[in-house]
Amino acid sequence: MPPNPRIVKAFKAMKAIGIDEPTTKPVLKRLLKLYDKNWELIEAEDYRALADAIFEEQDAQVSGSGSGSGGGTGAGVSDNGGSFMSEVGATDETEPPFKRLRKGHAGETSSPSANCNSWLPGVPLIKPKEEKEELPCTNYTLQSPDKRRLESLVTLPHNHASNMGKQPNHSHELLVVDKNLPPESLSPQNRHAYKGKEPLVPQFAVKEKRPMPGRASTGVVFKDPVVESRNALVPKENANDTLALVVHKDEPFTDNMHQYLPLAVFPPGLLAIEGPSTDSESMGKRDALLSSSPSHILAAEYKSDNGHSSSQNVANGEVPIILEGSAANLEIATSTMGEVKIYLSCNSIIGKPNCHMPTQEELLKSVEEKCLRSYKILDPNFSVMKVLKDMCECFLELATDSSRHSQEESLLNVTPRGNLLKKPAAYGGVGNSSPATNTSNGSVHASHVDVVAVPEASVLSQQNMLSGNEAAARGCSENKEGQGLRDLELCDSVAISECQLTPDEFRSLHCMNDITKAEEAVEIPWLNEITKECLPRFNYTPRNLVFQNARVKFTLSQIKAENCCSRCVGDCLSSSKTCICSLGTMHGFAYTRDGLVKEDFLEDCISMNRDTKRQSHSFCSDCPIQRAKGDGILEPCQGHLNRKYIKECWIKCGCHKLCGNRVVQRGIRYKLQVFFTPEGKGWGLRTLEKLPKGAFVCEYAGEILTTKEFFERKMEMSRDNKKLVCPAPLDAYWSSKSLKDEEALCLDATFHGNVARFINHRCHDANLIEIPVKIETPDDHYYHLAFFTTREVIALEELTLDYGTEFDDDTVDAFKCLCCSKFCRDMRRSNGKYVLKLHTLVFLR
Q: Per CB under 6 A, does 786 bind ligand SAM?
A: no
**Packing angle between helix 39-63 and helix 21-34, nearest 10 degrees?**
120
* Partner residues linked to 444 by β-bridges: 438
Subset of 71-130 contacting ligand SAM (CB under 6 A): none
Q: Total residues contacting ligand SAM (rule CB under 6 A)?
A: 17
Subset of 693-732 contacting ligand SAM (CB under 6 A): 725-726
Which residue from 48, 100, 195, 761 is in contact with ligand SAM, where contact means CB under 6 A? 761
CA 724 – CA 740 distance, rounded (Å): 24
- Applying CB under 6 A, the span of 12-20, 27-35, 757-765, 771-779 interacting with ligand SAM comes to 757-765
Q: Please, what is the minimum distance in Å from the beta carbon of residue 383 to ligand SAM?
A: 33
* Strand, coil or helix: 16: helix
Task: Give the single-character DSSP code of 302.
Answer: E
CA 253 – CA 186 distance, rounded (Å): 9
Which residue from 253, 839, 841, 844 is in contact with ligand SAM, where contact means CB under 6 A? 839
Closest CB to ligand SAM among residues 646, 799: 799
Q: Nearest to ligand SAM by Cβ — which residue?
A: 682
Q: Per CB under 6 A, does 778 bind ligand SAM?
A: no
CA angle centred on 308, ends 306 and 310, rounded to 5°: 135
Closest CB to ligand SAM among residues 337, 841: 841
Q: Please, what is the minimum distance in Å from the beta carbon of residue 823 to ligand SAM?
A: 12
**Packing angle between helix 39-63 and helix 5-16, nearest 10 degrees?**
50
Q: Please, what is the minimum distance in Å from the beta carbon of residue 679 to ligand SAM?
A: 7
Q: Please, what is the minimum distance in Å from the beta carbon of residue 815 to ligand SAM?
A: 4
Q: Per CB under 6 A, does 745 bind ligand SAM?
A: no
As a whole number of Å, the CA-based R_g of the chain is 36
Nearest to 143 by CA among 402, 395, 322, 323: 395
CB 475 within 8 A of CB 817: no
CA 282 – CA 568 distance, rounded (Å): 50
The H-assigned helical ranges of 685-823 are 707-719
Closest CB to ligand SAM among residues 666, 828: 828
- Applying CB under 6 A, the span of 490-498, 639-647, 658-666, 680-688 interacting with ligand SAM comes to 680-688
Q: What mask, x for binding ligand SAM by CB under 6 A, covers residues 628 to 667? A: ----------------------------------------
- Applying CB under 6 A, the span of 172-180, 201-209, 697-705, 752-760 interacting with ligand SAM comes to 752-760
Q: What are phi and psi of 764, to 5 degrees?
A: 65, -60
Which residue from 144, 609, 760, 767 is in contact with ligand SAM, where contact means CB under 6 A? 760
Q: Per CB under 6 A, does 787 bind ligand SAM?
A: no
**Packing angle between helix 280-290 and helix 360-375, nearest 10 degrees?**
120
Closest CB to ligand SAM among residues 158, 761: 761
Nearest to 372 by CA among 570, 505, 546, 207: 505
- Applying CB under 6 A, the span of 65-73, 479-487, 586-594, 813-821 interacting with ligand SAM comes to 813-821
Which residue from 188, 358, 682, 778 is in contact with ligand SAM, where contact means CB under 6 A? 682
Closest CB to ligand SAM among residues 395, 711: 711
Beta strand spans in 417-535 (E): 437-438, 444-445, 526-527
Which residue from 233, 817, 841, 844 is in contact with ligand SAM, where contact means CB under 6 A? 817
Q: Per CB under 6 A, does 819 bind ligand SAM?
A: yes
Nearest to 471 by CA among 485, 459, 482, 481: 485
CA angle centred on 294, ends 290 and 298, rounded to 5°: 95
Q: Per CB under 6 A, does 750 bind ligand SAM?
A: no
- Applying CB under 6 A, the span of 206-214, 458-466, 524-532, 814-822 interacting with ligand SAM comes to 814-822
* Strand, coil or helix: 496: helix
Closest CB to ligand SAM among residues 177, 759: 759
Q: Per CB under 6 A, does 818 bind ligand SAM?
A: yes
Sign of CA dihedral 604, 608, 614, 617: positive
Which residues, in sequence order, are CB contacts of 526 under 8 Å at separation 6+? 456, 512, 513, 515, 535, 673, 674, 675, 683
Which residue from 376, 757, 781, 784 is in contact with ligand SAM, where contact means CB under 6 A? 757
The H-assigned helical ranges of 127-244 are 147-151, 161-164, 188-191, 225-229
Q: Per CB under 6 A, does 681 bind ligand SAM?
A: yes
Closest CB to ligand SAM among residues 170, 757: 757
CA 298 – CA 220 distance, rounded (Å): 9
Q: Please, what is the minimum distance in Å from the beta carbon of residue 756 to ligand SAM?
A: 8
CB 683 within 8 A of CB 529: no
Q: Please, what is the minimum distance in Å from the beta carbon of residue 433 to ligand SAM?
A: 29
- Applying CB under 6 A, the span of 119-127, 577-585, 764-772, 815-823 interacting with ligand SAM comes to 815-823
Which residues, in sequence order, are CB contacts of 625 under 8 Å at separation 6+? 637, 638, 707, 729, 731, 744, 844
Q: Per CB under 6 A, does 829 bind ligand SAM?
A: no
Q: Per CB under 6 A, does 752 bind ligand SAM?
A: no
Closest CB to ligand SAM among residues 627, 761: 761
Q: Please, what is the minimum distance in Å from the beta carbon of residue 808 to ligand SAM?
A: 15
Q: Per CB under 6 A, does 474 bind ligand SAM?
A: no
Q: Per CB under 6 A, does 302 bind ligand SAM?
A: no
Q: What are phi and psi of 789, to 5 degrees?
A: -75, 140
Residue ranges binding ligand SAM (CB under 6 A): 681-684, 725-726, 757-761, 815-819, 839
